Amino acid sequence: MADPVHLPRMLQDWQAMVFEPFRDGVDICHLRRSDPALAILRYAPGAGVPRHRHTGLETILVLDGVQCDERGSYPPGSLVMNPEGSEHSVWSDTGCAVLIQWERPVQMLEEAT
């Protein structure tokens, strides 16, 4: 049986969780490492993830700050779904934290500059 995630408690306590480096300026707290993966990503102001393709559904819930991609800006409470085959880059001018679930790993299309 899978370990349950108590969402209301996690949404209140995510700042106290243990994060590790993920990409330049982006830290990750793994909640589940296997497919589907579940994590919290914390972006420093000005940080981002280069253009990538989704090989499965990605679902994002913005917890704090504003996350942006080529389609728009997403404040706290925004639910963003990126279907299999979609491509984008992601950044946050002010910094943000998001709960993210990947059905399958993403395919990086470019590297950070």
What are the domain boundaries of the chain?
Answer: 7-108
14, amino acid identity: W
Question: What confidence score (pLDDT) does residue 93 get?
Answer: 98
**How far from each other are the two terminal CA atoms of the chain, in whole angstroms?**
42
Summarised one tens digit per residue, pLDDT across range 1-25 is 355 566 656 666 777 788 999 999 9
Grouping H, G, I as helix, E, B as strand and the rest as coil, residue 13 is: helix
Plot region of 106 (φ>0 → left; ψ -120 to 50 → alpha; else → beta): beta
CATH architecture of 7-108: Sandwich (2.60)
> Do the beta carbons of residue 24 and residue 60 sit within 8 Å?
no
pLDDT-flagged residues of the chain (< 70):
1-12, 112-113
